[in-house]
Amino acid sequence: MSATPFSLLIRQARILLPTGDFLVGDVGIRDREIVQVAPDLGSVPEEVLDAEGLTLLPGAIDPQVHFREPGLEHKEDLLTASCACAKGGVTSFLEMPNTRPLTTDQSTLDDKLGRAQQKCLVNYGFFIGATSACSPDLLSANPTPGIKIFMGSMKGDLLVDQSEVLERIFATGRRPIAVHAEDQARISERRQLFVGETNPAVHSQIQDSQAALNATVQALGLSKKYQRRLHILHMSTGVEAELLRQDKPSWVTAEVTPQHLLLNTSAYEQLGTLAQMNPPLRTPQDNQVLWQALLDGVIDFIATDHAPHTLEEKARGYPNSPSGMPGVETSLPLMLTQAMQGRCSIAQVSHWMSLAPAKAYKIPNKGVIAPGYDADLVLVDLNSYRPVRREELLTKCGWSPFEGWNLTGWPVVTIVGGQVAYDRGNLRKEVRGQALTFN
Ligand code: DOR
């Protein structure tokens, strides 16, 4: 044993325990791992973090992000995105395949993993994208959390909207399938009804609730037919949530974004095209039903769908403006603010943003503060409120749909694999995360 038993000691934090209770105490970390949690660990290691007054949570895992590298680095890259993650308390992310080139085989996956190893301050995993060609790499490429299928809202090779192809993908292999569930045929048809419309609010009418429901029904049917592990990405409508409440096989999970919980079609008035995303924002009634589904466990966890586009791109005007909004810097404080306002508990937020995605994608040793777990942690301040300010954002796109929202629970220190990656406004850019594994 070394002279001091810990490489990092967090002193006197309000620690979220696996039971959901809090303990004011110390967390001892050796290298990448939590080794002890106790009221007072006493000894003095090389690095001590005084956490008095702060709350210690497992680092957030964001299971759906678009980080744009390679090929679209003018919007974001793995360094800027992972800095934003560290600042937002996100210690692991799962990234989507719609980069350039598309991530559809082992070599494009390896390229992303290599880039992340060079640049990422937090832990990383990358989905493999399905195409109509059904490459054998879909089943063999490693490591990946699963196969991403864009059933709609996508152009080019990643759009997989033919029933026969979907059937083949669901029928072949066992790895998890994550779907962007929107019915492309319905969207294309409805787009014709709104030709010439430049008000971005029509986006929610073109890509309507029925388009989302149709695709979710189809994916659920295929998942049941083949007993294939299915994850429904960014569920946006009350009707989908109610469908799932009636009929959710044990191998199906679903997620919701903070924006689908907290924003609705009224946001277009103030935000214009900044409120444009896929699937679109819905009604206040949808917000309510989604919240209830999350509280009841019908929806399993939260993802941001961080999808940065530049302000210039957003300024092109509807329908030429791209869909998507950033999220990794604001998701944890947004949800913790909801908890502090009594809408849910801190333990629930932590479950939805750490343990539940870890379990769903079988990422080992994450999401719990206990000996033997990875030291991916975030200290948050639940005692003060601060607004989301554009000038403080680290995402390269430089804006947030939540600007001006007064939030609590902002990360103060973020720890990735036992190393401090973010500390009171300062990034330690030399810190590197690791490639996630999926058991
Ligand atoms: O709004 C969206 N934008 N939804 C998606 O699923 C993709 C994303 C993007 O990559 O811009």
Query: Are the beta carbons of 61 and 353 closer than 8 angstroms?
Result: yes
Tell me the per-residue pLDDT of 337-352, one tens digit each, with 9 for 90 and over. Answer: 999 999 999 999 999 9
Pocket of ligand 1 (CB under 6 A): 66, 98, 153, 180, 277-278, 305, 307, 322-324
pLDDT tops 90 at residue 155: yes
Nearest in space to 257 (alpha carbons), one of 179, 325, 181 = 325
Tell me the per-residue pLDDT of 161-195, one tens digit each, with 9 for 90 and over. Answer: 999 999 999 999 999 999 999 999 999 999 999 99
Query: Are the beta carbons of 436 and 127 closer than 8 angstroms?
Result: no
| Interhelix angle 78-88/331-340, nearest 10 degrees | 20
Lowest mean pLDDT among 17-21, 47-51, 240-244: 47-51
Total Cβ atoms within 10 A of residue 125: 23
Choice from 64, 65, 66, 396 to test ligand 1 binding pocket (greatest atom count within 8 A of CB)? 66
d(CA 332, CA 286): 21
For residue 182, the one-letter residue type is E
Question: 278: CA distance to ligand 1 center in Å?
Answer: 6
Buried b (16+ CB within 10 A) or exposed e, 345-354: ebbbbbbbbb
Choice from 203, 278, 321, 325 to test ligand 1 binding pocket (greatest atom count within 8 A of CB)? 278
- Range(s) within the chain of domains with CATH label 3.20.20.140: 59-360
Give the position, in ligand 1's atom list, of the atom nearest the Cα of 322: 11
Give the position, in ligand 1's atom list, of the atom nearest the Cα of 66: 10
DSSP 321: S
**If pLDDT is split at 50, 70 and 90, which confidence band does 45 have?**
low
Tell me the per-residue pLDDT of 116-126, one tens digit each, with 9 for 90 and over. Answer: 999 999 999 99
pLDDT above 90 as % of the chain: 97
Q: Which residues belong to the active site?
A: 305
Residue nearest to atom 9 of ligand 1 (CA): 307
- Range(s) within the chain of domains with CATH label 2.30.40.10: 8-57+370-427
**If pLDDT is split at 50, 70 and 90, which confidence band does 1 have?**
very low
* Top CATH class, 59-360: alpha beta
Residue nearest to atom 3 of ligand 1 (CA): 324
Question: 180: CA distance to ligand 1 center in Å?
Answer: 9
Q: Tokens at residue 381, please?
A: 């301040």
Q: What was the pLDDT predicted at 135?
A: 87
Give the position, in ligand 1's atom list, of the atom nearest the Cα of 96: 10
Question: 305: CA distance to ligand 1 center in Å?
Answer: 7
Tell me the per-residue pLDDT of 266-285, one tens digit each, with 9 for 90 and over. Answer: 999 999 999 999 999 999 99
- For 192, residues 6+ apart whose C-beta sits below 8 A from its C-beta are none
Q: What was the pLDDT predicted at 372?
A: 98
Choice from 74, 94, 99, 153 to test ligand 1 binding pocket (greatest atom count within 8 A of CB)? 153
d(CA 432, CA 354): 19
Give the position, in ligand 1's atom list, of the atom nearest the Cα of 308: 11
Q: Give the helix ranges, DSSP H, for 207-237.
A: 209-226
- For 183, residues 6+ apart whose C-beta sits below 8 A from its C-beta are 151, 152, 161, 210, 211, 212, 214, 215, 218
- The third-level CATH classification (topology) of the domain covering 8-57+370-427 is Urease, subunit C; domain 1 (2.30.40)
Q: What is the rounded average pLDDT for all residues in the chain?
A: 97
pTM of the prediction? Answer: 0.98
d(CA 413, CA 253): 31
Tell me the per-residue pLDDT of 204-240, one tens digit each, with 9 for 90 and over. Answer: 999 999 999 999 999 999 999 999 999 999 999 999 9
